[in-house]
């Protein structure tokens, strides 16, 4: 009888715990909708930096600045770095074409072969080689090199080396949706959409409709 | 789908044959090769992933195409290449394969590309040295990079190998290409038919995942791809067929036979071609021929193989370094 009671007590206790956990989850979801939430100090904190509307506005601003900077007699081309830079480039190219009334050529660059960590892979990351698709001559053009996030600057370095192997552009300008802190190379963006300060361990992620189903920039 | 492929990890530091590879691994090599193709067509035909690596071409058998293709592939990935052929080496002085390889290893090689007349030589080598081993043809066993470039070429033209009927015609018994082709093609979902005179079909062929036909006329109308093998006179023992003319009459790919084939049939040949013997000149140079594409695709495929084995070696080196 006593043992039975004890078991019941334990069930009750566990039940309370599970209930509390479920309640926490619900409040977590509620907070997510409010753009920011913390569950408890030990949980990872996720914060939404930009929503779909803000992303759209930033891209529009970038477009205006790129058009303002470009002399009429020089051809510009858009090249996105795989894989999310490709999507951002696609949107920028569309907006630029609309604004200038001319079709802006767009290409995609795979930088895997130019990465500086190929022979010192960390953990389980094994980059997959994909195709570079640039169907036009880059000689004497102004290249708007597009990436989703500028962080260490290593990807940009790799991309510049890859581009130089394709020809001699008049200029390479860097456009990024998010410019976060943590540079390891002397590289800066010419067109930075949103400037984010993030601690070294944090991950700033751009999630886009085409690749992730949602449209936001988060830090976690 | 996209996520699934990106989570796949290549872990083999040797490429010894296609028999042991899974369909997923073969597809991964082909996908990787697609990324290397454009390097050969641009202004600077070089990329840096194997910078500072040393590749040795260890060829105990004659070869021009494969050896040059590997040399080109390695140098386009910025590796240094040492050529090592039987004629001008200590092998003619009686040095064993393992001693030769160990000596090369003492020079700090990273990848050995080996061709040997004994089947299994690359596998033996891989057990005794630390460098990556890539099989460039061993005996009558396998020629994996040829098999890969053949399926790459077919996949590029036809989209997929699933459900295709592929005839491999000629000297099957002495052909390592036929074997590697068979493994790669059947794993990717194609149906393979070996075609040749009974004397040139290997014994115990019923244990292989293929059909056999002794008449090219019977299969030519049905197949989507025909791969014509060279008659390897240097390997033939005895008299497998009465005369070259008779062989050519029954098993040569002539203009006449091509008229009965599907209009979009792919004509392949691993080279070197004996014009007028297994294939008529008009067919070899014709609309359906992808023989030269095979050669250029071969460089991309070999670049992918060298890149992947080196990646796998770098990862295992990391692991053993932390122990």
Q: What strand order describes the sheet that includes B165-169?
A: B211-213, B191-195, B165-169, B225-228, B266-268
Q: Tell me the C-alpha distance between A110 and A81, whole Å.
A: 6
Chain B residues within 8 A of A121 when measuring between CB atoms: 311, 314-315, 318
pLDDT confidence of residue A9? 55
Q: Does A154 touch chain B (CB under 8 A)?
A: no
Residue in B1, B38, B48, B111 to test binding to A, most A beta-carbons within 10 Å: B48
Query: With an 8 Å Cβ cutoff, are A132 and B6 in contact?
Result: no
pLDDT confidence of residue A16? 58
* Cβ pair B18, B144 in contact under 8 A: yes
pLDDT confidence of residue B49? 94
Q: Does A166 touch chain B (CB under 8 A)?
A: yes
pLDDT confidence of residue A36? 46
Q: Choose the closest CB to B38 out of A120, A124, A132.
A: A132
Closest by Cα among A63, A25, A32 to A218: A32
Query: With an 8 Å Cβ cutoff, are B10 and A126 in contact?
Result: yes
Catalytic residues of B: 65-66, 93, 115, 143
**Chain B residues with a Cβ under 8 Å from any Cβ in chain A:** 2, 5-6, 9-10, 31-32, 34-39, 42-44, 46-49, 77, 304, 307, 310-311, 314-315, 318
Architecture field, domain B2-143+296-314: 3-Layer(aba) Sandwich (3.40)
Cβ within 8 Å of residue B90, ≥6 positions away:
B100
pLDDT confidence of residue A17? 61
Q: Does A44 touch chain B (CB under 8 A)?
A: no
Between chain A and chain B, how many beta carbons pairs sit less than 8 Å apart? 62
Nearest CA in chain A to B52: A119
Residue pLDDT, tens place only, A41-92: 445 678 899 999 999 999 999 999 999 998 888 899 999 999 899 999 999 9
Q: Does A114 touch chain B (CB under 8 A)?
A: yes
3-state secondary structure string across chain A: CHHHHHHHHHHHHHHHHHHHHHHHHHHHHHHHHCCEECCCCCCCCEEEEECHHHHHHHHHHHHHHHHHHCCCCCCEEEEEECCHHHHHHHHHHHHHHHHHCCCCCEEEECCHHHCCCCCCCCCCCCCCCCCCECCCCCCCCEEEEEEEEECCCHHHHHHHHHHHCCCCCCEEEEEEEEEECCCCCCCCCCEEEEEECCCCCCCEEEECHHHHCCCEEEEC
Check pLDDT > 60 for residue A3. Answer: no
Residue pLDDT, tens place only, A119-149: 776 555 678 899 999 999 999 999 999 999 9
| Higher per-residue confidence, A13 vs A154 | A154
A106 to chain B, closest Cα gap in Å = 17
Q: Which residues of chain B form CATH 3.40.50.1370?
A: 2-143+296-314, 144-291
Question: What is the CATH number assigned to the segment(s) B144-291?
Answer: 3.40.50.1370
Query: With an 8 Å Cβ cutoff, are A118 and B5 in contact?
Result: no
> Would you list the domain boundaries of chain A?
2-35, 49-219
Residue B168 φ/ψ, nearest 5 degrees: -110, 115
3-state secondary structure string across chain B: CHHHHHHCCCCCCCECCCCCCCHHHHHHHHHHHHHHHHHHHCCCCCCCCCCCCEEEEEECCCCCHHHHHHHHHHHHCCCEEEEEECCCCHHHHCCCHHHHHHHHHHCCCCEEEEEECCCCHHHHHHHHCCCEEEEEEECCCECHHHHHHHHHHHHHHHCCCCCCEEEEECCCCCCHHHHHHHHHHHHCCCEEEEECCHHHCCCCHHHCCCEEECCHHHHCCCCCEEEECCCCCCCCCCCCCCCHHHHHHHHCECHHHHHHCCCCCEEECCCCCCECCCECHHHHCCCCECHHHHHHHHHHHHHHHHHHHHHHHHHHHHHHHHC
DSSP β-ladder status, B211-213 and B191-195: parallel
Q: What strand order describes the sheet that includes A106-109?
A: A106-109, A76-81, A142-150, A171-180, A191-196
* Cβ pair B33, B301 in contact under 8 A: yes
Residue in A116, A126, A131 to test binding to B, most B beta-carbons within 10 Å: A126
Q: Choose the closest CB to A129 out of B2, B35, B314.
A: B35
* Cβ pair B302, B68 in contact under 8 A: no
- Supply B241's token pair: 């067929």
pLDDT confidence of residue B250? 94
Query: With an 8 Å Cβ cutoff, are A166 and B10 in contact?
Result: no
Architecture field, domain A49-219: 3-Layer(aba) Sandwich (3.40)
pLDDT in tens, chain B (323 residues): 344 445 788 999 999 999 999 999 999 999 999 999 999 888 889 999 999 999 999 999 988 889 999 999 999 999 999 998 877 666 667 788 888 888 888 989 999 999 999 999 999 999 999 999 999 999 999 999 999 999 999 999 999 999 999 999 999 999 999 999 999 999 999 999 999 999 999 999 999 999 999 999 999 999 999 999 998 887 777 778 888 899 999 999 999 999 999 999 999 999 899 999 999 999 999 999 999 999 999 999 999 999 999 999 988 775 554 43
pLDDT confidence of residue A77? 96
Q: Tell me the C-alpha distance between B68 and B76, whole Å.
A: 12
Check pLDDT > 90 for residue A193. Answer: yes
Q: Choose the closest CB to A124 out of B2, B5, B9.
A: B9
Each residue of A55-83: b (16+ CB within 10 Å) or e? beebbeebbeebeeebeeeeebbbbbbbb
Give the pTM: 0.86
Residue pLDDT, tens place only, A143-192: 999 999 999 999 999 999 999 999 999 999 999 999 999 999 999 999 99
Nearest CA in chain B to A130: B35
Residue in B54, B314, B317, B321 to test binding to A, most A beta-carbons within 10 Å: B314
């Amino acid at each position: 009888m006593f043992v039975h009671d004890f078991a019941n007590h334990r069930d009750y206790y566990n039940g309370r715990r599970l209930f509390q956990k479920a309640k926490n989850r619900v409040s977590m979801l509620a907070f997510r909708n409010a753009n920011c939430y913390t569950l408890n100090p030990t949980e990872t904190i996720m914060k939404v930096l930009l929503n779909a509307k803000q992303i759209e506005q930033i891209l529009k601003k970038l477009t205006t600045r790129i058009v303002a900077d470009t002399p009429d007699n020089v051809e510009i081309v858009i090249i996105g770095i795989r894989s999310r830079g490709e999507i951002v480039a696609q949107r920028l190219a569309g907006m630029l074409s609309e604004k200038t009334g001319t079709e802006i050529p767009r290409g995609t660059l795979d930088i895997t072969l130019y990465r500086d960590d190929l022979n010192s892979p960390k953990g389980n990351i094994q980059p997959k080689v994909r195709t570079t698709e640039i169907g036009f001559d880059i000689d004497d053009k102004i290249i708007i090199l597009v990436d989703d996030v500028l962080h260490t600057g290593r990807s940009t370095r790799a991309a510049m080396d890859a581009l130089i192997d394709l020809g001699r552009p008049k200029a390479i300008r860097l456009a990024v949706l998010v410019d976060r802190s943590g540079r390891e190379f002397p590289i800066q963006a010419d067109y930075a959409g949103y400037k984010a300060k993030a601690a070294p361990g944090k991950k700033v992620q751009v999630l886009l409709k085409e690749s992730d189903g949602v449209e936001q920039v988060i830090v976690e | 789908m996209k996520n699934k492929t990106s989570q796949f990890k290549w872990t083999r530091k040797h490429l010894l044959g296609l028999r042991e590879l899974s369909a997923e691994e073969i597809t991964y090599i082909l996908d990787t090769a697609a990324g290397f193709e454009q390097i050969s067509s641009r202004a600077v035909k070089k990329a840096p992933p194997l910078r500072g690596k040393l590749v040795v071409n260890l060829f105990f058998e004659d070869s021009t195409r494969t050896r040059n293709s590997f040399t080109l592939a390695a140098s386009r990935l910025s590796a240094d290449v040492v050529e090592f052929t039987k004629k001008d080496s200590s092998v003619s002085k009686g040095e064993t394969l393992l001693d030769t390889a160990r000596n090369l290893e003492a020079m700090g090689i990273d990848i050995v590309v080996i061709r040997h007349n004994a089947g299994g030589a690359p596998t033996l080598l891989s057990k005794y040295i630390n460098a990556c081993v890539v099989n460039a043809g061993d005996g009558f066993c396998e020629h994996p990079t040829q098999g890969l470039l053949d399926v790459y070429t077919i996949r590029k033209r036809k989209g997929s190998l699933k459900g295709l009927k592929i005839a491999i015609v000629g000297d099957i018994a002495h052909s390592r290409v036929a074997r590697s082709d068979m493994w790669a093609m059947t794993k990717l979902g194609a149906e393979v038919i070996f075609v040749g005179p009974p004397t040139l079909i290997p014994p115990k062929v019923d244990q292989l995942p293929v059909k056999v036909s002794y008449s090219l006329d019977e299969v030519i109308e049905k197949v989507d791809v025909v791969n014509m093998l060279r008659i390897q006179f240097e390997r033939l023992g005895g008299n497998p067929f009465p005369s070259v003319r008779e062989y050519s009459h029954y098993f040569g790919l002539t203009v006449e036979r091509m008229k009965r084939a599907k209009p979009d049939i792919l004509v392949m040949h691993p080279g070197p071609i004996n014009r007028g013997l297994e294939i008529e000149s008009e067919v070899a140079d014709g609309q359906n021929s992808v023989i030269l594409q095979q050669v250029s695709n071969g460089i991309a495929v070999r670049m992918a193989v060298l890149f992947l084995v080196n990646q796998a070696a770098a990862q295992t080196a990391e692991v053993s370094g932390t122990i």
